[in-house]
């Protein structure tokens, strides 16, 4: 979306009426002032789109359903290179990722794309807020945004309503609540099957940092899934993640984010997600998951991709990716200077990752 203002629509305009009111009730009258106008405009657009959502639901009832076979999940904490990796795989002919339009309008993306594309071309910014990467209506996107419009129990709910972040982390990310887990898995499978019906014969590739903590749960619905984990030095990940939230929270947040203890949340999320992943990963067979270091991947991406694909038995031609990586060669990454206090906090609270992946 473009610069935040009082009447700018919120991402919730892509949900349905039930979900919209569920989010509003969850906020429990803790809306910040600017959010009231945004929600009003979003509700107006949502009502206008309701007949099209109903029409799509009816048409999809008669569409042939496709089974999701051997999906690929790119996992890794925020700011670990997962977007770069996701964009690269999406360039392969036989692979497809959820697009921006799929994730912003999961209830209208199959039959009403023709209507939504002109809207997104005007509404979307040219670049992402946090790192200046290009954005288009068909850019690969995290499925977590689509799921947040289908069920509130996702990690994106933190961006809407961060005041209850401890419960969100425990239930919606770590899936420690059985009811929430069931709803989240059901929503993921529903979204994936619809996406597969739109891309018959292609391999779906998903990317969501929160899925780093959900590997075992995802295998319950996708037993043949393949996982590619990207890990990056915590000294780079933590300050970059803090920068990410400072940029995007004002854009998405419906509560006053100024009182949020952001640094504590970022560390808690990192510890809980990475610790759960480290505990889980040894239960997977080598042919199910491969781990790549971001630092190695950016130096020799084709070689690292080939090594990863060989380990998890994915046979795809990677030669067509040379132009993509060539075009990204001069991309300028954000650089952050660590003060001693933050550096010491990272050393202590990210110790498990420093040790597990031999980061000095």
Q: Mind giving me the DSSP string for 3-46?
A: S--TTPPPGGGGS-HHHHHHHHHHHTT-B-HHHHHHHHHHHHHH
Q: Token pair of 260, please?
A: 């949020």
Total number of domains constituting the chain = 1
- Mean pLDDT of the region 149-156: 91
- Residue 34, pLDDT score: 82
Judged by average pLDDT, the poorest of 142-151, 187-196, 247-256 is: 247-256
Does residue 126 lie within any of the structural domains?
Answer: yes
* Measured distance CA(341)–CA(16) in Å, rounded: 45
Pairing relation of β-strands 289-293 and 72-75?
Answer: unpaired
Supply the mean pLDDT for the chain.
Answer: 91
| Most confident option among 79-93, 156-170, 203-217 | 203-217
* Measured distance CA(104)–CA(82) in Å, rounded: 20
- Residue 1, pLDDT score: 40
Residue 4 binned pLDDT confidence (cut-offs 50, 70, 90): very low
CA-closest candidate to residue 142, choices 174, 97, 106: 97
**Which CATH number covers residue 185?**
3.40.50.300
> 10 near 45, Cβ under 8 Å?
no
- Residue 2, pLDDT score: 43
Residue 203 binned pLDDT confidence (cut-offs 50, 70, 90): very high
- Residue 126, pLDDT score: 78
- Residue 170, pLDDT score: 95
- Mean pLDDT of the region 165-182: 95
- Mean pLDDT of the region 37-52: 94
Instruction: List pLDDT tens digits, range 58-83.
Output: 999 999 889 999 999 999 999 999 99
Phi-psi region of 222 (alpha: psi -120 to 50; beta: other; left: phi over 0): beta
Does residue 331 lie within any of the structural domains?
Answer: yes
- Residue 207, pLDDT score: 97
- Residue 338, pLDDT score: 87
- Residue 131, pLDDT score: 63
**Contacts for 319 with CB less than 8 Å, ≥ 6 apart:** none
DSSP, collapsed to helix, strand or coil, labels residue 99 as strand
Which structural domain, as residue segments, surrounds residue 128? 67-356
Asked whether residue 182 carries a pLDDT value surpassing 60, the answer given is yes
Full-model pTM: 0.93
Does residue 39 lie within any of the structural domains?
Answer: no
Instruction: List pLDDT tens digits, range 204-247.
Output: 999 999 999 999 999 999 999 999 999 999 999 999 999 999 98
Asked whether residue 98 carries a pLDDT value surpassing 90, the answer given is yes
- Residue 243, pLDDT score: 93
Does residue 38 lie within any of the structural domains?
Answer: no
Does residue 122 lie within any of the structural domains?
Answer: yes
Instruction: List pLDDT tens digits, range 302-328.
Output: 999 999 999 999 988 898 899 998 888
Asked whether residue 143 carries a pLDDT value surpassing 90, the answer given is yes
Residue 329 binned pLDDT confidence (cut-offs 50, 70, 90): confident
Does residue 37 lie within any of the structural domains?
Answer: no
Does residue 201 lie within any of the structural domains?
Answer: yes
* Measured distance CA(146)–CA(222) in Å, rounded: 18
Does residue 287 lie within any of the structural domains?
Answer: yes
* Measured distance CA(104)–CA(121) in Å, rounded: 13
> 289 near 227, Cβ under 8 Å?
yes
* Measured distance CA(306)–CA(310) in Å, rounded: 6
Q: Which residue spans within the chain are E strands per DSSP?
A: 72-75, 95-96, 203-207, 226-231, 289-293
* Measured distance CA(243)–CA(74) in Å, rounded: 22
**Contacts for 326 with CB less than 8 Å, ≥ 6 apart:** none
Judged by average pLDDT, the poorest of 11-15, 183-187, 252-256 is: 252-256
- Residue 3, pLDDT score: 44
Instruction: List pLDDT tens digits, range 286-307.
Output: 999 999 999 999 999 999 999 9
> 246 near 310, Cβ under 8 Å?
no
Residue 9 binned pLDDT confidence (cut-offs 50, 70, 90): confident
């Amino acid at each position: 979306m473009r610069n935040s203002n009082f009447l700018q629509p919120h991402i919730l305009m892509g949900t349905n009426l039930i979900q919209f009111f569920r989010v509003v009730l969850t906020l429990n009258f803790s809306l910040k002032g600017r959010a009231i106008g945004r929600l009003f405009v979003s509700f107006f657009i949502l009502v206008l789109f309701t007949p099209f959502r109903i029409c799509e639901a009816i048409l999809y009832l008669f569409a042939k359903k496709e089974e999701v076979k051997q999906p690929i999940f790119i996992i890794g904490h925020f700011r670990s290179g997962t977007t770069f990796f996701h964009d690269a795989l999406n360039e392969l002919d036989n692979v497809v990722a959820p697009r921006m339009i799929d994730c912003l309008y999961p209830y209208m993306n199959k039959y009403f794309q023709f209507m939504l594309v002109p809207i997104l071309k005007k509404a979307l910014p040219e670049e992402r807020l946090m790192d200046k990467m290009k954005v288009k209506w068909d850019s690969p996107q995290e499925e977590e945004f689509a799921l947040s419009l289908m069920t509130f129990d996702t990690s994106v709910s933190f961006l809407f309503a961060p005041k209850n972040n401890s419960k969100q982390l425990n239930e919606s990310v770590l899936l420690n609540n059985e009811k929430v887990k069931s709803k989240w898995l059901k929503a993921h499978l529903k979204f994936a099957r619809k996406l597969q019906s739109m891309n018959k014969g292609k391999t779906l590739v998903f990317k969501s940092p929160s899925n780093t903590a959900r590997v075992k749960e995802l295998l319950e619905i996708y037993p043949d899934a393949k996982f590619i984990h990207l890990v990056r030095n915590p000294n780079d990940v933590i300050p970059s993640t803090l920068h990410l939230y400072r940029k995007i929270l004002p854009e998405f947040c419906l509560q006053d984010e100024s009182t949020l203890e952001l640094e504590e949340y970022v560390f808690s999320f990192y510890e809980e997600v990475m610790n759960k992943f480290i505990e889980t990963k040894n239960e997977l067979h080598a042919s199910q998951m491969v781990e790549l270091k971001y630092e190695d991947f950016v130096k020799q991406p084709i070689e690292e991709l080939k090594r990863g694909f060989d380990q998890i038995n994915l046979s795809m031609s990677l030669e067509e990716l040379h132009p993509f990586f060539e075009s990204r060669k001069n991309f300028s990454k954000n650089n952050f200077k660590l003060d001693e206090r933050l550096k010491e906090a990272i050393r202590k609270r990210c110790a498990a990752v420093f040790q597990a992946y031999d980061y000095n």
